[in-house]
């Protein structure tokens, strides 16, 4: 028995693979295209582990995906593979259409062909778990109730629109072809191994380098923050006990404005890694023009997964963010290796 994890060299995927194997799960076939956000260094702890097999491949390549499935005969697919950064989707939407929509379609087709080769018991046990985002639901006003699984989709960026399309394809393949799927929609993840283009690792990286901390608009855009380890445990629960065809929202019950997140990071760094001149990292904060179509608030109602599957997050934002900052302080070599010249050019372009 084995599972196939797509996008398993990316931030959430790599954390899931390591978490899965540490928890004693069956072997993992890790299928990743190795784009800029896919990093085999994140999986260095698995070197020599016979329970981890890496395959470089694109979910948009039907032949390679199907050949991998037929060779390794997994009992489940966990699909993390996606382009996931809103800012990049604004500049280059085509890449998001290719991977998130067309790639998901090809992977679904490969899974459907593979399913046809299984016996009845194997078919009954097989699962296709599709990992998505809360951004498909659009934006909330300050006093709106949190997103529930029944909320209408109202995506506002090329990224969220491409993920919404992929969610619809997964749903359609279940209802049309009987593909045994479950979908998860998570809130903002943070934690170890996150590429420093997202808010938390970007702020840590810039602060330690003495660079400005760019904050969009007034900094009052609200997000729900989910520690990546909690996300991994939720996915395990959905894969194990989730009802076919259902969607489960995964959230951290930690809503807060971006400005509060940055303040928290600065305060932790002031204590953990004081600046030479003793000034606060808060002095590096720099408000920049807001990005186009910036959603004001996301919030996840994760009561369904708690009631049905007994899952709830183990980390508060306070505990999770301290673990995250400590990891980045202890792993500066990893950060240095991923922040290449191309990364620096991207940041300069985005926050000019």
> Mean pLDDT, the chain, as a whole number?
95
Taking residues 130-150, what's their average pLDDT? 97
Q: Is the pLDDT of residue 346 over 60?
A: no
Is the pLDDT score of 136 beyond 80? yes
Return d(Cα 216, Cα 258) in angstroms, integer: 9
- Distance, in Å, from the CA atom of 166 to the CA atom of 181, rounded to the nearest integer, reads 12
What is the mean pLDDT of the segment spanning 89-111?
96
Residues 87, 135, 167, 197: which is the catalytic one? 135
Could you tell me the pLDDT band of residue 324, with boundaries at 50, 70 and 90? very high
- The answer on pLDDT for 350 being more than 70 is no
Residue 159: active-site member: yes
Q: What is the pLDDT of residue 37?
A: 82
Cα angle 48, 50, 54; round to 5? 85
What number is the average pLDDT over the span 236-250? 98
In which region does residue 210 sit, left (phi positive, over 0), alpha (psi from -120 to 50) or beta (all else)?
Answer: left
330 catalytic? Reply is: no
Q: Give the pLDDT band (50/70/90) at residue 339.
A: confident
Q: What's the CA gap between 330 and 309, in Å, rounded?
A: 35
How sure is the predictor about 285, in pLDDT bands with cuts at 50, 70 and 90? very high
* Model confidence pLDDT, tens digit, residues 104-121: 999 999 999 999 999 999
The single residue of 159, 193, 227, 248 carrying the catalytic annotation is 159
Instruction: Tell me if residue 134 is catalytic.
Output: yes
- Which residues are 225's β-sheet partners? 188
Tokens of 205: 């990286």
* CATH annotation of 3-193+224-254+293-315: 3.40.50.720
Who's near 121: CB < 8 A, 6+ residues apart?
none
Q: Tell me which of 83, 87, 134, 197 is the catalytic residue.
A: 134
- Per-domain boundaries in the chain: 3-193+224-254+293-315
Residues 84-104 have a mean pLDDT of 93
CA–CA distances in Å: residue 26 to residues 20, 21, 53, 342 = 8, 7, 12, 37
**Please, what is the end-to-end C-alpha distance for the chain in angstroms?**
50
Band (pLDDT 50/70/90 cuts) for residue 342 is low
Query: pLDDT band for position 343 (50/70/90)?
Result: low
Residues 155-165 have pLDDT tens digits of 999 999 999 99
Percentage of residues in the chain having pLDDT higher than 90 = 89
Give residue 347's pLDDT band: very low, low, confident or very high (50, 70, 90): low
Query: pLDDT band at 337, cuts 50/70/90?
Result: confident
Q: What is the pTM of this model?
A: 0.95
Q: Whole-angstrom Cα distance, residue 212 to residue 234?
A: 35
pLDDT at res. 39: 87
Instruction: Return the structure tokens found at 298.
Output: 């996301």
Pairing relationship of beta strands 255-257 and 222-227 according to DSSP bridges: antiparallel
Residues 109-112: contacts with CB within 8 Å, 24+ apart?
Answer: 109/62, 110/62, 110/65, 110/66, 110/69, 111/69, 111/77, 111/179, 112/173, 112/177, 112/179
Residue 248 has pLDDT above 80, yes or no: yes
Comparing CA positions, the residue from 155, 144, 167 lying closest to residue 300 is 144
Q: Which pLDDT score, from 0 to 100, does residue 341 have?
A: 59
- 303-316 average pLDDT score: 98
Task: Give the residue with greater pLDDT, 343 vs 300.
Answer: 300
């Amino acid at each position: 028995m084995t599972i196939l994890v797509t996008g398993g060299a990316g931030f959430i995927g790599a954390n899931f693979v390591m978490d899965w194997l540490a928890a004693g799960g069956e072997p993992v076939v890790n299928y990743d295209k190795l784009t800029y956000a896919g990093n085999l260094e994140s999986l260095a702890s698995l070197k020599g582990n016979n329970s981890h097999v890496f395959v470089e491949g694109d979910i948009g390549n039907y032949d390679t995906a199907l050949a991998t499935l037929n060779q390794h005969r997994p009992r489940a697919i966990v699909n993390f593979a996606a382009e996931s950064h809103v800012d990049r989707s604004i500049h280059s939407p085509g890449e998001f259409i290719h991977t998130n929509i067309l790639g998901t379609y090809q992977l679904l087709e490969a899974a459907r062909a593979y399913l046809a080769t299984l016996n009845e018991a194997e078919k009954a046990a097989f699962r296709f778990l599709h990992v998505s985002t809360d951004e498909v639901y659009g934006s909330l006003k300050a006093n709106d109730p949190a997103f529930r699984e029944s909320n209408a989709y109202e995506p506002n960026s090329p990224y969220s629109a491409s993920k919404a399309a992929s969610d619809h394809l997964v749903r359609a393949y279940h209802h049309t072809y009987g593909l045994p799927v479950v979908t998860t929609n998570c809130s903002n993840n943070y934690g170890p191994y996150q590429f420093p283009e997202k808010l938390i690792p970007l702020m840590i990286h810039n602060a330690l380098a003495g660079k400005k901390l760019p904050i969009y608009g007034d900094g009052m855009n609200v997000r729900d923050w989910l520690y990546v380890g909690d996300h991994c445990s939720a996915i395990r629960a959905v894969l194990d006990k989730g009802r076919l065809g259902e969607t489960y929202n995964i959230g951290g019950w930690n809503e807060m404005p971006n400005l509060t997140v940055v303040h928290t990071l600065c305060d932790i760094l002031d204590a953990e890694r004081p600046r030479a001149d003793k000034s606060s990292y808060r002095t590096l904060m720099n408000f920049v023009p807001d990005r186009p179509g910036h959603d004001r608030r996301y919030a996840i109602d994760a009561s369904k997964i708690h009631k049905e599957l007994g899952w709830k997050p183990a980390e508060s934002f306070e505990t999770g963010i301290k673990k995250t900052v400590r990891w980045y302080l202890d792993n500066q070599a990893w950060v240095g290796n991923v922040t290449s010249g191309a990364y620096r050019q991207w940041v300069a372009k985005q926050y000019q």
